[in-house]
Each structure stands twice: as structure tokens, then as C-alpha cells.
């Protein structure tokens, strides 16, 4: 992957997309009242944000992918297996984003001198060794551009799916994330 100023210039050269749609998020049931919070990613980091740098809200394009991402399900060849986990809430998130960088596209990966392997590699191991993962460097550079609301990235758990990495404090006034719940139990949205 490109680094430093080359990475920033390459990211700035990529077009942004306006994206409306439906995404999914699986959260532990104890987080019912804070289900759109991204404070956990700030504290511990995530694939696209280093610990204590900035918040990133991770969403998936498919409900099964969101369960795979939080390791509530395991894909074993062509079979899905449930894992023993605390209760998870599967949330439907309606979104309207104004400035999304599509990193999942091969052309974008080529521009950034990266590939699927690097984008889906073991970032946790690198952090455990005291290193910042290339994806975290990419996420931080995109965040620091200040005009990017989210990244559309390949899922590390399902090669046929993608994730949205949303920067909550970069959402414009025209953008929206809202938990769909017609029962009225969960009333969560941003901004």
C-alpha cells in the first residue's frame, strides 16, 4: 500500500459516491441503548481505525456478514455454524451517505497499490505486535481528509460481501444512519 503523502494524494484522487441503502450491524444485547455507538472502535481499534485515534462505525451489507464479522457465525466451507456467544442483536440500519470512498473496487485498490489480501489480513496480530496495520493507515488517511464520510471495503469474513466503515463525526447534515424499528423499542439515529 502507498504510504504518507502518496496515500493521501491517491485517496483524494478517488471519486466519492453518494450511497443510500440498508446495512446491518450485530451488537451485544447489553448495547441496546447505544447500538450506534462506535466508542468501542475508538478504545480498541478496528480494521480501519487505530486504537484511540478516531471512531469508526462498522456495518455490513448483509445480515449474515454482520454475524460473521462479530464471530457469532463461522463459515466452514459451504456451511454456516453457530458459535456459543452472548445474545446478539441484529440491527437493520437505513443509511444515506454523501461521500463514500469505494475501496472494495479493484480499480481503487490498484490506485492505492493494495490488494484483497492486504485489506483482509490479520490487523489484530499486527496491533498485538505494536504495529499499525496498513488498513488502519488507510482509514486514518481517509479520515484526515475530513471530506470522507465512509469507506466501502471488502469483508474479511465473506469475499462476496462488503462493509461500510462510517466516520460518525464526519457525517454531513444531509447524511443519515437510522436503526429501523417500527416497534419503537430502539430509537437510534445520527447525526
Report d(CA 59, CA 65) in Å as an integer: 9
pTM over 0.85: yes
On the 0-12 / 13-18 / 19+ scale of CB atoms within 10 A, 84 is exposed
Which pLDDT tens digit goes with each residue over 50-69? 999 999 999 999 999 998 88
Crossing angle of the two packed helices 4-13 and 134-144, in degrees rounded to 10: 60
Pairing state between β 88-102 and 16-28: antiparallel
Residue 81: per-residue pLDDT: 75
Q: Is 42 helix (H, G, I), strand (E, B) or coil?
A: helix
Contact (CB, 8 A) for 11 and 141:
yes
Distance of CA 82 to CAs 18, 71, 73, 90, Å? 35, 9, 5, 14
Residue 191: per-residue pLDDT: 87
CA torsion sign, 59 to 168 to 86 to 33? negative
Judge whether residue 80 has pLDDT over 90. no
Which pLDDT tens digit goes with each residue over 6-27? 999 999 999 999 999 999 999 9
How does the average pLDDT of the chain come out, rounded? Answer: 93
In degrees, to the nearest 5, what angle opens at C-alpha 157 toward C-alphas 136 and 141? Answer: 15
Residue 189: per-residue pLDDT: 95
Residue 30: per-residue pLDDT: 86
For the chain, domains (ranges, CATH) are 4-170 (3.90.175)
Q: How many CA atoms lie within 13 A of 139 on its CB side?
A: 30
Which pLDDT tens digit goes with each residue over 151-161? 999 999 988 99
Which pLDDT tens digit goes with each residue over 82-119? 777 778 899 999 999 999 999 999 999 999 999 999 99
Amino acid at each position: 500500500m502507498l504510504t504518507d503523502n502518496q496515500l493521501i494524494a491517491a485517496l483524494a484522487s478517488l471519486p466519492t459516491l453518494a450511497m443510500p441503502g440498508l446495512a446491518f450491524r450485530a451488537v451485544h444485547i447489553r448495547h441496546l441503548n447505544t447500538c450506534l455507538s462506535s466508542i468501542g472502535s475508538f478504545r480498541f481499534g478496528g480494521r480501519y481505525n487505530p486504537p484511540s485515534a478516531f471512531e469508526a462505525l462498522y456495518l455490513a451489507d448483509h445480515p449474515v456478514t454482520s454475524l460473521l464479522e462479530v464471530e457469532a457465525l463461522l463459515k466452514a466451507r459451504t456451511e454456516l455454524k453457530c458459535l456459543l456467544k452472548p445474545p446478539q442483536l441484529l440491527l437493520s440500519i437505513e443509511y444515506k451517505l454523501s461521500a463514500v470512498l469505494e475501496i472494495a473496487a479493484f480499480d481503487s485498490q490498484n490506485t492505492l497499490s493494495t490488494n484483497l489480501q492486504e485489506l483482509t489480513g490479520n490487523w489484530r496480530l499486527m496491533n498485538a505486535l505494536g504495529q499499525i496495520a496498513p488498513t488502519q493507515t488507510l482509514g486514518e488517511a481517509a479520515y484526515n481528509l475530513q471530506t470522507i464520510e465512509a469507506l466501502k471495503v471488502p469483508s474479511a469474513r465473506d469475499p462476496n460481501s462488503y462493509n461500510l466503515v462510517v466516520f460518525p463525526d464526519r457525517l454531513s447534515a444531509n447524511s443519515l444512519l437510522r436503526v429501523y424499528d417500527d416497534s419503537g423499542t430502539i430509537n437510534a439515529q445520527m447525526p
